A and B are shown apart, each in its own frame.
Chain A
Amino acid sequence: MASSAKKLKDQVGLTGNSAVALAMKQINPDVCPAYPITPSTAVIETFSDYFANGEVDTEFITVESEHSAMSACVGASAAGARVMTATSSQGLALMWEVLYIASGMRFPIVMATVNRALSSPINIHCDHSDSMGARDSGWIQIYSETVQEAYDNMFQAIRIAEDKRVLTPAMVCMDGFITSHAIENLTLATDAEVKGFVGDYTPEHSLLDTDNPVTMGAMTMPDSYMNFKFEQSNAIAGAKEVVVEIGKEYGKLTGREYGLLDCYNLEDADVAIVVLSSAAGTTKAAVDELRKEGKKVGVLRPRLYRPFPHQEIAEALKGIGAVCVLDRADSMSGFGGPLFTDIRSALYGIENAPLVMGRIFGLGGRDFNVANAKEVFEETFKALEAGKIEKTTGYITI
């Protein structure tokens, strides 16, 4: 007890939203255009307090919609500013066309995405339908398991997005309510540490730099459009290495190192679950219980989802007998969720590929508990024993 008290002496208790807002304050971006929406509202509310109290130098722009919020992000980024915002659900959906403009113009905007279900029916609770819909928009996507990780990911996202090899916008995702409204222990970085880590932003080009005039957002014809996309595609694919580099550097600074994947008891596992964000923690607790019974189970949690670390995932899952991929979103394709199809595709053609099945869980905040995770492991074991998958895709807890 005494030692744990000592260890935790410097910890604070914050919700995910408060922690992300604090990270934004410490980053002190040049511009923050925002339109609040549940469950990310408190990020913007708290940040607007910092602004009102003069604790940030940010130009805080209240706009009339999320479409305008992201448009203002694009404009500010074109002017050469470091830009941040936050949104959820319908808000992200309304940003749609502008997300592609931000990534196509290679603006390193960083956005906190607090995951929430999409209408209809209307629901304010967590699932990943919102950010999964943006998975092909050319934004880097990092998914956070805990409050600590959501906080830490914000700083790393700035560095990753602004890296000259990347120059691509990034969203840091955390689970609505489950993480955004939960108070958890976390260790903060000092303002000086953050300042040193994120550094100053020097844009490659700025519309305000009249000595070096450039054209941005110009019309392109078939002779050039595809070349832009080719370069963008290479840049985001290359972001993977930068994510690893920055994760290591952050580890040196804070003692908390981050990689592409979070592998939990995978090395000798017969069966594994692949799942994003907070549900991975719950699944790890199920692993702890099943390991005590001698069952060789593990969890793979992709931290980086876009770009998709397909080789690393294939390497991590190679030799495991059977895998169940849990998706907190449905593709409405009749063939499971987006993570499932990506994982299955990453495993196709490799030697010793596991059997792969996919299950949809947790839509609109449906609880996913340790018992649910154990049931999934049990079903996956059955597939392994039978040597085949009875039902490739489906729903659980329905």
Chain B
Amino acid sequence: MEGYTEVRWHGRAQQGVVTAAKLLGETALFEGKFVQAFPEFGPERMGAPVKAFNRISDDPIKIHCQVTNPRIVLIVDPTLIGITLAGGMETSSGVSDGATDGAVFIVNTSDPVAEVRKALDVSDDKKVYTVDASTIAMDTLGRHIPNTPMLGALAKVTGIVDFESLLKNFKDNYGKKFGEKVTAANVSAMERGFKEVGE
């Protein structure tokens, strides 16, 4: 959609995908943008594929449909690449479906970018970045919730939100809820995602 930056998140239930979209939306709103952040829920079970979406715009956002032509795609779980579930269900479409010309892909993986690009099977105009968000999450949080390192990587690669705003929103709005230790771990996860993302 003209005038909107559209973002699509792919992951599995319990990886914090919906929360990541929420944090991105809140940060952009904090920066004075019009935003949407919304999930697509499938069957409610751990490990099920989950999508979440963002729209970020300088103008009010009218549309209320799914993001089918994202400019930014975040793949929080690389095992979703190349999978097409049976039945042609909307929930099971491929991670690269509909991505715009010049779209940015950020993938949580330790594999080399060239291999990821091959697995994604996307045209040369697409930009592919990788970050080992799972390892970062285990190092910082001690749990496999790779959403916050992905946000750090997103801020670095796209500049769609300012990195400092991302940290500030998190500290201001979740510091109390999560407590000092978990908040610090997530901030550190975002910082490492920001530093370690590469192409």
Contacts and interface: CB of A to CB of B under 8 A. Distances in A.
Contact of A368 (B38, B41, B65): B65
Given A13-B26, A13-B37, A182-B37, A1 B32 contact: yes
A40 to B, nearest CB: 14
**Best-surrounded residue of B25, B33, B62, B66 (most CB of chain A within 10 A):** B62
Contact of B61 (A13, A177, A181, A184): A184
A282 B29 contact: no
Contacts of A181: 38-39, 41
A281 B34 CA distance: 15
> Chain B interface residue count: which class?
20 to 34
A369 interface: yes
Interface string B40-65: 11000000000000000010111111
B8 interface: no
B103 to A, nearest CB: 18
Contact of B1 (A6, A145, A279, A285): A285
A185 B1 contact: no
A367 interface: yes
Nearest to B32: A5
A25 interface: no
Contact of B65 (A9, A185, A369): A369
A178 interface: yes
A284 B37 contact: no
Contacts of B133: none
A101 interface: no
Given A13-B37, A183-B36, A282-B62, A370 B31 contact: no
B35 interface: yes
B32 A281 contact: no
A182 B38 contact: yes
A9 B32 contact: yes
B63 A281 contact: yes
Given A11-B29, A13-B29, A281-B63, A185 B38 contact: no
Contact of A177 (B29, B41, B90): B41
B88 to A, nearest CB: 13
Given A184-B61, A367-B90, 19 more contacts: A4-B33, A5-B31, A5-B32, A6-B32, A13-B25, A13-B26, A177-B38, A177-B40, A178-B38, A183-B25, A183-B37, A183-B38, A278-B64, A281-B64, A282-B65, A285-B62, A288-B62, A369-B63, A369-B68
Interface of A: 1, 4-9, 11-13, 124, 145, 175, 177-179, 181-185, 278-279, 281-282, 284-285, 288, 366-370
Interface of B: 1, 22, 25-26, 29, 31-41, 58, 60-66, 68, 90
